[in-house]
Amino acid sequence: MSTEPSLDLPPAQQARSRLTQQRILEAGTALLEEGGTEALTVAAVASRAGVSVGSVYRRFGDKDRLIAALQHAMIDEFRADIIRRFAPLSTDPTALVTSAVAGLTETYQAHERLMRVFLAAGATDPAVARVGSEAAIDAARVFRRFLESIIPMIDAPEPERRLDVVYRLIYGTCQNRVLYGDLFESDRPLTWRQLTDELVNVACLSLLGAQAR
């Protein structure tokens, strides 16, 4: 379902329409972060955004389509954040791995509250789960492209598979951290910073044979 304003609208109306759409998305995001999918109703979004219920329906349809639009918006921001955070200080292999791992963990942390909502929703909603899985696979491609230059340095029979497993390790760990907090599967609390440092060392050991300096 397209949420773009009609191209035959005058420019001023197109601008107002985009602004209204953005307000609806921001209102929906806030409601999801505050109370999950149960708190998200078309009426609640309209009230929070300061628009009519009809305006929400015209742009997004029913609640399920609105949730889908919000999930896609979050995924777009998530992907942009990963790319922005993949900014190494040098081309040194260790610096590249450090930047890639930290880029993933810091992006998960930045989107933690909303990500938790969609991870929980995906457990019972196949559509949400499918979109989330597609986004994770796309993030894996970005991760692999960023670390493509170190593949010849990976001492493994199938270096690309090793790189894929490292991504899956980081991805799975971050998802559990988002869902269960700093005590996930342990009685020892682990901050995002501590988790990032440990994952950097694991990745460097697995891919380069030495811990990060």
pLDDT at 128 over 90: yes
pLDDT at 212 (0 to 100): 77
pLDDT for 10-22, tens place per residue? 454 667 788 888 9
Convert 41-70 to b/e letters by CB count within 10 Å (16 or more is b): bbebbbebbebeeebbeebbeebeebbbbb
**What does the pLDDT read at residue 5?**
43
Q: Which residue's entry shows tokens 């010849």?
A: 152
Tell me which residue of 88, 98, 83 sits closest to 202, measured CA to CA: 98
Rounded Cα gap, residues 177 and 175, in angstroms: 5
Give me the helix-helix angle, 93-110 and 192-208, nearest 10°: 150
Do 87 and 182 meet the contact criterion of CB atoms below 8 Å apart? no
For residue 167, pLDDT over 50 is answered with yes
**pLDDT, tens digit, 9 for 90 and up, residues 150-161:** 999 999 999 999
CA distance linking residue 2 with residue 100, whole number of Å: 33
Q: At what angle do helices 63-85 and 42-49 cross, to 10 degrees?
A: 60
Find where tokens 């639009």 sit.
Answer: 69
Give CA–CA dist 33/205, Å, rounded: 36
| Same fold for the pair 11-61 and 68-208 | no
Domain assignments of the chain as residue spans, ordered by start: 11-61, 68-208
Predicted local distance difference test score (pLDDT) of residue 7 = 42
Q: What is the mean pLDDT of residues 145-169?
A: 96
Q: Indicate the CATH number of 68-208 among 3.80.10.10, 1.10.357.10, 1.10.3720.10, 3.40.50.20.
A: 1.10.357.10
- For 188, residues 6+ apart whose C-beta sits below 8 A from its C-beta are none
- Position 18 scores a pLDDT of 84
Class of domain 11-61: mainly alpha
Q: How far apart, in Å, are the Cα atoms of 118 and each of 57, 67, 108, 186? A: 22, 9, 13, 23
**pLDDT surpasses 80 at 79:** yes
Percent of the chain at pLDDT > 90 equals: 79
